[in-house]
Amino acid sequence: MIPEKLLVKLARRHANKSMRELRTTSGLIDFSSNDYLGFSNKLKPASSNKHGATGSRLLTGQTEICQQLEQKIAAFHKTESALIFNSGYDANLGLISSVAQRGDLILYDEYVHASIRDAMKLSDAKSLKFRHNDLGHLSILLDKFSKEENQEVYIITESVFSMDGDMPNLVELVNLAKNKDNVHIILDEAHALGTVGNNGEGLAQSQNLQDDIFARIVTYGKSMGCHGAAVLGGFDLNQFLVNFARSFVYTTALPQHSLNCISNAYDLLAQDSKEVENLQLLVIKFNRLVVQSGLRLRFRESVTPIQTCIIPDNDVVKKAALQLQEKGYDIRPILSPTVPAGEERLRICLHSFNTIEQCEKMLHTLAAILKKR
């Protein structure tokens, strides 16, 4: 029997209709996964005599395959070095908790991912949030709190936010930090890799700002269709993380078949931009269909594959998702407290393999469901 106070927390989730459950679906049209380019069904790991994991990178887990892959990743992303982590969560945890020291300051967008929030809790630095994509508010916080002696300031934001699909004004953000030697930008590119830029290279590179970013985090469990992540940055940062990032030092390295999948995914991005182009065109057409279906006021504006239909109330949005699933569309509800109460939503993910006809029929079905409410 688990402790009573834990049962109370579960009971509150039940009462709020926000209980999370593990579910499987099959045979539905995918409007839910982060597999934006459909790579998960295309990757074929290269054969190897040694597939398993043997230890941490600092022990027996370091291989020539891993070393060569990190060089390949760094070249693709036009940076000095890349360091592979086992997941995006691990990458954020290891990076932020180690570089932000006691006496330092973290200024973070209020909508950053849970992994970033957990990393800040593990850090000894002070942290303050700024309003979502509000660089005016960030500037005020910088002027007010970033002038202590021997203080480093880390600004943390994302290229594409996972719940709204929106992006920051990265040019203005870089300009805000550019002339301050103690201010460093950390950019989570998880949902931008494969979706933003001519070859899916991400937001920073698409705007030629990669040299102005202290650290970028790219993850492989979304557009790349595999697993793992990498922190991109200078050689000195790489060496620091190898020595001090606990989620890197004290974990078993990825097995070689995972590394092969990552390598193959980069090959697909580098060799053929067709899937990226198809996805970006679909996003444009989808936004037009939203207007035509009369749902514009329901949807948050987004030029990325993450599209959001706001349907307040956990119970109501769950019912709408279930009705869509019954019609053959794999669309999931996002409930509070994952998002603020009153901003519950359907999170609709577009993929290069989705068709215009599928999008049109799905939106027609959604409009009919909402009309009956």
Domains in the chain with CATH codes: 19-40+273-371 (3.90.1150.10), 50-271 (3.40.640.10)
Is residue 305 classed exposed, middle or buried when 0-12, 13-18 and 19+ CB atoms within 10 A define those classes? buried
Residues 216 and 210: beta-carbon distance below 8 Å: yes
pLDDT at residue 149 tops 90: no
Kindly report, residue by residue over 222-266, the tens digit of the pLDDT. Answer: 999 999 999 999 999 999 999 999 999 999 999 999 999 999 999
Kindly report, residue by residue over 319-344, the tens digit of the pLDDT. Answer: 999 999 999 999 999 999 999 999 99
Q: What is the average per-residue pLDDT within 289-301?
A: 95
Q: How confident is the model at residue 24 (pLDDT cuts 50, 70, 90)?
A: confident
CA separation for the pair 11, 18 (Å, rounded): 10
* Cβ contacts of 124 within 8 Å, gap of 6 or more: 100, 101, 102, 104
- How many CA atoms lie less than 13 Å away from 33 in the CB half-sphere? 23
Q: How far from the centroid of its chain's Cα atoms is residue 158's Cα?
A: 7
| Mean of pLDDT over the chain | 93
Backbone angles phi, psi at 97, to 5 degrees: -65, -25
Q: What is the 3-state secondary structure (H, E, C) of 234-298?
A: CHHHHHHHHHHCHHHHCCECCCHHHHHHHHHHHHHHHHCCHHHHHHHHHHHHHHHHHHHCCCCCC
For residue 139, which of 175, 91, 101 has the smallest C-alpha distance? 175
pLDDT at residue 14 tops 80: yes
- C-alpha angle 245/246/250, rounded to 5°? 130
CA separation for the pair 359, 289 (Å, rounded): 8
Predicted pLDDT at 45: 58
Predicted pLDDT at 47: 53
pLDDT at residue 8 tops 60: yes
DSSP state of 342: T
CA separation for the pair 262, 284 (Å, rounded): 28
pLDDT at residue 100 tops 70: yes
Predicted pLDDT at 215: 98
Instruction: Reply yes or no: is the peptide bond before residue 340 cis, omega within 30 of 0.
Output: no
Predicted pLDDT at 46: 58
pLDDT at residue 48 tops 60: no
CA separation for the pair 40, 221 (Å, rounded): 9
CA distances from 339 to 4, 13, 222, 334 (A): 27, 14, 21, 7
pLDDT at residue 27 tops 90: no
What is the residue-wise DSSP string for 28-96? Answer: SEESS-S-TT-GGGT--PPP-S--S--SBTTTT---HHHHHHHHHHHHHTTSSEEEEESSHHHHHHHHH
Predicted pLDDT at 43: 79
Q: What is the average per-residue pLDDT within 168-186?
A: 94
Residues 105 and 131: beta-carbon distance below 8 Å: no
Predicted pLDDT at 51: 63
pLDDT at residue 218 tops 70: yes
